[in-house]
Chains A and B, each alone.
Chain A
Amino acid sequence: EADIYQTPRYLVIGTGKKITLECSQTMGHDKMYWYQQDPGMELHLIHYSYGVNSTEKGDLSSESTVSRIRTEHFPLTLESARPSHTSQYLCASSITGVVKTQYFGPGTRLLVL
């Protein structure tokens, strides 16, 4: 099972602030993902990466951006937070192969006031 870490776990921030949500994994997985989830709803893919210097937007449009400079690190940045960005953000990773299992971090709960 993957070891995948997210910080911070909880963040309360004012409108207009720039934030970066950190995600790191120690298993050497080549693929990484960011999901957004609201209570009672499905997880929506907002960004994914199939390797270093590879990033793509997911199925749900997001104002956030991501980078993948190192295999183990996949941070998500919001340049100007708004109340509509309030949500839970989940990072996951997986390895290329027949088995498609993604392993998730504990998530970051973001509240924008």
Chain B
Amino acid sequence: DQQVKQNSPSLSVQEGRISILNCDYTNSMFDYFLWYKKYPAEGPTFLISISSIKDKNEDGRFTVFLNKSAKHLSLHIVPSQPGDSAVYFCAASLRRGKLIFGQGTTLQVKP
């Protein structure tokens, strides 16, 4: 049973517009959530994170929102740029720092 789910395999947006990537989880014991960006044949790069005691964290063009009652988090990228095109993974922390990853969403930003 997958504890972290990204139900949209892909997303396409126009350059300059907002990209919204979604992630759902089932385990209410998760205490920390993270977003990573990954290019093919490279390792994931950390983007932004949020503690379960917060509902929003912002870093430049990236904002993560956490809705604990819905067990849902989202990543907003504004404005989207062609260089943002990559696979985005959400991850949740359970017990001593172990991470559970979603399947990833491929974002394509069109010029």
Give the B-binding residues of A (Cβ under 8 A): 1, 6, 31, 33, 40-45, 48, 50, 58-59, 88, 90-92, 94, 96, 98-107, 109
Contacts and interface: CB of A to CB of B under 8 A. Distances in A.
A43 B9 contact: no
B41 A109 contact: yes
Interface residues of B, number: 27
Which DSSP category, helix, strand, loop or mixed, fits chain B's interface?
Answer: strand
Top 6 A-B residue pairs of the complex, sorted by shortest distance between their CB atoms: A104-B43, A100-B93, A42-B101, A100-B32, A43-B101, A107-B43
Contact of B43 (A45, A59, A106): A106
14 contacts: A31-B97, A42-B2, A42-B104, A43-B89, A43-B101, A58-B98, A92-B43, A94-B97, A100-B32, A100-B93, A102-B97, A105-B43, A107-B43, A109-B41
